[in-house]
Structure 1
Amino acid sequence: MTPPLPWRRRPEQSVSVVVPAFGAAASLVRSLDSILAQPVRDLQVVVVDDGSTDRTGEIADAYAAEHPQVTVLHQQNGGVSRARNAAMAHVTGELVTFVDPDDFLPADAWTPMLRSLAKTGSDFAIGMMERVLEDGRRVRPPLLHRNHAVERLGITIDDAPLLIADVFPCNKMFRTEFWHRAGLSFPPDTSYEDNVFSAEAYLAGSRFDVLTPVVYDWYVRGEGSSDTNRRGRLKNLRDRVATKQATLERVLAHGNPELIDTLYRQVLPIDMWEHFRAAVRPTTEEPETYWRELRAGVRALWNDTTVPFEETAVPPGQRLMGWLVGEDRRDDLARLIDLIDGPGVPTEDGVYLHPWRDEPGVPVALSRA
């Protein structure tokens, strides 16, 4: 029998996958099954039971007993960053990737990244990910879709600055040698840890590959109310601002003006609307302190020496929210949010017809629809 042509063979590279698990008994089976179904001969699965009080640890141990590829670490609860960092000390594969226990992998998810890395020798590869809703619908976040519209091999972050918005570890596969050489890790004890970690990976990478196939299914449970409440906590706000500042510090040190401008205009502001809304919500923790720290964070990041918030690339309502925060106009912010959630703010011939557009001193950019 004629052997298969070389370009039809699967790249034979060993892969480790890290699964940080806390209170994941309801979803861990599906997640692990999707990992073990991947067509990789040399596979290691490192599950970290991060002090779970449900059956997560028991389920993981049962998989380890049945599947020699699975290793389980049990530790006191320390958060997802500590769990991932602990697992990296046990990784043996040439390549490493991550799967969160609520999520799962499409069939043959890793092959595009394995093939790409075998071809290019890049430090890591990034694939597309889709949000999978509880009703089965699939959604491609616009910025992810934009970043993964075309294949780009062997590039750097200077070649594609907007990629710094792709902060997820789970749609990436890294060379383990690169990981350790670059000193990568996840910052502990903070939310939004992926932002700092990913910035460091992009800045350290001599080259990486950007691919178009979907390599990860990001399962979204219907927990909007709990997410909303979390945004109103002071620690959540502080973590958000701190990780943005830490990311910015690293990018400023890198020194590429286009990357810096992209970060200010297109990346850093994209999730601030959650905190603008939380600032006028009656359930927000210590509202006066929250408002003061939100305003300080906005003014520190977006100002006349960087990029004013009204000049960022977010939608007009969000730009106006940010300007109102910076101007210390909490009552007007509440009025704007009520208007957006009610009849909406009209637009006409590309003009955003908000109530303050004719007020002296209001930036012209805030009327841009």
Structure 2
Amino acid sequence: MDHTKFHVLQFKENHLIFCVDENDTSDSELDSILKEKWEKAKENGIFRYNLEIKDWKILKGQYRFLAQLNVNRASKRRKPEDISSISQPFDTSRFNFNKISEQEIMIDVETGDGNNVIAINVSPIEWGHCLLLTDRFQNLPQKMTKSSLKKALELLIMSNSVDLRVAFNSLGAYASVNHLHWHLYYLRHRLLLESIILEGFKGPVDLLVNFPAKGFCISLSSIINKNTDDLVSCVFLIVNFLQNNDIAHSVYITRAKSKPSVKLFDDVRVYIWARKSVLGVKDTSAFIPAVCELFGHLSIKTQEDYTTLTEHQVATILDDVTAETFYSIKENIAGVIEERQLLLNITDIQSGETVMCL
């Protein structure tokens, strides 16, 4: 594979966009390249199917769930990998992202050697759906690394669109391939979790409790000086606890508003859901409660389910997936945060440096 063919996207501090106007349709460098390459892949027939959202609606009720009818994804996507353990090791004999074609790769991220790339998702859930593949030549399983989290967050903040979202499913949380990857896609709908009121918890960590999918949230605005490295450290502290304890989890990064009344999208939120584990071959029936669904973006597989689905049904499923695990580990997470704060306070006293975050 000739990696010199791919556009190399270099990260620069001045490329970060911390405040976005949803009425501003101008593209950043990242947006421009993603859109151009994704459309070219579509024209060249690289996808398993043409993305066709046959219909969409906001379900009646207080949570404003977005339901989209995407029949092709149910019938034409690659068969999900059989996952037997949250800590299942990488297996070179199974499908992995080192086996994708040159045509699927859109962007080389920073290195220029093909190790960190953005590739199309051949079974798209929405427009622009692609995959961030970090350190792919190291054959890492689907277990989040701090460096991959950093790249995922930076890519979102390099976009000038409020629509770009970044998402991660662990094994046992409907990840389809056991090779480290993140999802990126554009969603042109305003959803509740972009501005919902959160409940204070510990340090910069808030709780999402007045929503069916119970979880944790860390906002960039809660970090002193909006330091992205500190946000990454805070998020990974929780994710690392979940990984070390074999707890399935999903992570969603989105533009947000620091207050519901604010007109501009002046914040970034990272939602973390600890959840019931689903092992074995994934159920490919109508409603799969993966990371997008926990956020409120529902991909519905059949016309019948799309027609009859209600907010109550969705809320019941999301609560069942998350609530028990959330409440069982909430105090453990509090302890992890307090322990880290204590450690940093001691370091702070010894070094005389200012501690920015966890």
TM-score greater than 0.5 by the shorter chain: no
If asked which structure has higher relative contact order (CA below 8 Å, sep 6+), I would say: 2
Compute the TM-score of the two structures, normalised by the length of structure 1: 0.26
Compute the TM-score of the two structures, normalised by the length of structure 2: 0.27
Richer in helix (by share): 1
